C-alpha cells in the first residue's frame, strides 16, 4: 500500500504531510510532482496538501486543477480511491468538482493563522472513524480564503446526506457566529463526498499529529485512514 503527496509550485505543507505518513504513521509514501502523469490505482491514498499552488493567482487552486497529475483523479475517486485535501487541497477538490461549493475570502479579508476548536459532526468515513461523533478537537488553521459557501439547495443536500463532517466551535462544542473564524456557512470546516472516500478540510491535521508540535488531535485522522486500508486489503 502506497501513499502519494502531490506537490505543486507554491505547495508548502507537503513535507508536513510526508513526515506524518512516513515517520509517525509508518507508511510507504512518496511525493508526486504536479507535471507527472500518474497511475493512481497504485496508491491507497492521495493527499493534496496545503499551500498556495501557483501563488493562488486568479483564485486558490483555479490553475492547479489543470495539472497533468490530477487528470485521472476523478476516475480514481469513482473506483473508491481515497483523497484527502487539506486547505489549498480542499480548494482543489472544490475546483475539480469532487466536492460541491466554493471557497471565498475570509470575512475579515485577512489571513488567519491560529488554533481552532472543531466538532466532529459525522465520523462514518475512512478519515474519521477513530473519533467519536460529537467529539471536540483542536487543529490549526492558516488561510485567507477559507469561507466555505454553497447555495441553499446545495446546503440542504449536504445536510441530508450527512456530508458536513467538521464544524468550527468553541471548547464546549457550541457552533455560532462567535466561533466561526472565517464566515463559512453553518461553520463548515470540512466535508466529504456522498461516497465518503473524499474529504476536504481547511484545518491542518498534519500540523497537530505529534505532541511535540503542541497537540496530537490530528493523529487519529491519519490513523483512521491506515486502519481502513488495512482492513480493506486483508
- In contact, 206 and 17? CB cutoff 8 Å: yes
The C-alpha atoms of residue 219 and residue 208 are separated, in whole angstroms, by 7
Nearest to 174 by CA among 202, 134, 147, 201: 134
Choose the catalytic residue: 13, 17, 169, 204.
204
Spot the catalytic one: 13, 17, 87, 169. Answer: 87
34-70 burial, b at 16+ Cβ within 10 Å, e below that, comes to: beeebebeebbbbbbbbbbbbebeeebbebbbebebb
Question: Cell numbers at residue 30, please?
Answer: 512518496
d(CA 139, CA 229): 24
| Spatial separation of the C-alpha atoms in residues 191 and 33, rounded to whole Å | 26
Catalytic one of 17, 95, 147, 206: 206
Cell of 107: 470575512
Residue 204 among the catalytic residues = yes
Calculate ∠ Cα 225-227-228, nearest 5°. 65
Which residues participate in catalysis according to the annotation?
87, 204, 206
Amino acid at each position: 500500500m502506497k501513499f502519494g503527496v502531490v506537490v505543486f509550485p507554491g505547495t508548502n505543507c507537503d513535507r508536513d504531510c510526508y513526515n506524518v505518513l512516513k515517520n509517525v504513521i509508518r507508511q510507504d509514501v512518496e511525493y508526486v510532482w504536479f507535471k507527472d502523469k500518474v497511475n493512481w490505482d497504485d496508491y491507497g491514498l492521495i493527499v493534496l496538501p496545503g499551500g498556495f499552488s501557483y501563488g493562488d493567482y486568479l483564485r486558490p487552486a483555479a490553475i492547479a486543477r489543470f495539472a497533468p497529475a490530477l487528470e485521472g483523479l476523478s476516475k480514481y475517486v469513482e473506483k473508491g480511491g481515497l483523497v484527502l485535501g487539506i486547505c489549498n487541497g480542499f480548494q482543489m477538490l472544490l475546483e475539480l468538482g469532487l466536492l460541491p461549493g466554493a471557497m471565498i475570502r475570509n470575512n475579515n479579508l485577512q489571513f488567519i493563522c491560529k488554533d481552532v476548536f472543531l466538532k466532529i459532526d459525522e465520523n462514518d468515513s475512512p478519515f474519521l472513524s477513530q473519533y467519536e461523533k460529537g467529539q471536540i478537537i483542536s487543529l490549526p488553521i492558516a488561510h485567507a480564503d477559507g469561507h466555505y459557501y454553497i447555495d441553499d439547495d446545495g446546503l440542504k443536500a449536504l445536510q441530508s446526506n450527512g456530508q458536513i463532517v467538521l464544524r468550527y466551535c468553541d471548547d464546549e462544542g457550541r457552533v455560532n457566529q462567535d466561533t466561526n473564524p472565517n464566515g463559512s456557512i453553518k461553520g463548515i470546516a470540512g466535508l466529504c463526498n456522498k461516497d465518503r472516500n473524499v474529504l476536504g478540510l481547511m484545518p491542518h491535521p498534519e500540523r497537530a499529529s505529534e505532541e511535540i508540535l503542541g497537540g496530537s488531535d490530528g493523529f487519529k485522522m491519519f490513523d483512521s485512514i491506515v486502519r481502513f486500508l488495512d482492513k480493506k486489503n486483508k
